[in-house]
């Protein structure tokens, strides 16, 4: 039995991580460093991607916990888990898998850059849809074909634009 209390929607994890990456303060270059010599202006290199991810997830967890307690939903959750311990094991396994996926995605951003990471994330979703058509056959409509063309065109524009900028 499933419960509406637990929601593991991860459709936007990839895009959120790209946005999170943009919040990280990059260290100042040596040529501009002389403008920020005082301790009040120089905050160092900012948070590492890993520290930022831990901080954001900790804040999110705390807010969800407070919200759950405030809405008097905490005890029903605990009693549900006590009655169905396999549910807790399942969620811990999914959580560890998602954590591993986020760490892998952060490494992809670090090694290949955000443009490649977005392309990989988009292609991952495309492959998921294609596999769903293979595993669960359904008719391909004109709207589906247009959607495929738009996604492919978007990826192509991204790569062509990247080449023209010299990145």
Q: Would the pTM count as exceeding 0.75?
A: no
CA 40, 41, 43 angle in degrees (round to 5)?
A: 90
Going residue by residue through the chain (167 aa), what tens digit of pLDDT does each one get? 444 444 444 444 555 555 555 555 554 444 444 444 433 334 456 888 778 888 888 999 999 999 999 998 999 999 999 999 999 999 999 999 998 988 888 889 889 988 888 888 888 888 888 898 899 988 889 998 898 899 888 878 877 776 666 55
pLDDT at position 96: 93
By C-alpha distance, which of 122, 99, 109, 121 is closest to 22? 109
* DSSP output for 101-126: HHHHHHHHHHHH-HHHHHHHHHHHHH
Helices within 38-113 (DSSP H only): 49-70, 74-83, 85-112
CA dist 107 and 38 (Å) reads 33
pLDDT at position 130: 85
């Amino acid at each position: 039995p499933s419960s509406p209390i637990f929601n593991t929607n991860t459709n936007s994890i990839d895009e959120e991580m790209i946005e999170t990456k943009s919040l990280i303060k990059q260290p100042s270059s040596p040529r501009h460093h002389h403008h920020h010599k005082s301790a009040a202006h120089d905050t160092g290199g900012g948070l590492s991607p890993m520290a930022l991810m831990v901080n954001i997830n900790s804040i999110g967890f705390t807010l969800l916990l407070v919200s759950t307690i405030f809405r008097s939903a905490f005890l029903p959750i605990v009693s549900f888990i006590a009655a169905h311990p396999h549910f807790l094991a399942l969620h811990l396994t999914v959580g560890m898998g998602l954590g591993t996926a986020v760490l892998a995605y952060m490494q992809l951003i670090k090694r290949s850059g955000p443009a490649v990471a977005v392309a990989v994330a988009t292609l991952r979703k495309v492959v998921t849809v294609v596999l769903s058509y293979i595993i669960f056959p359904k008719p391909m409509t004109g709207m589906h074909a247009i959607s495929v063309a738009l996604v492919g065109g978007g990826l192509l524009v991204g790569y062509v634009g990247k080449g023209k900028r010299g990145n």
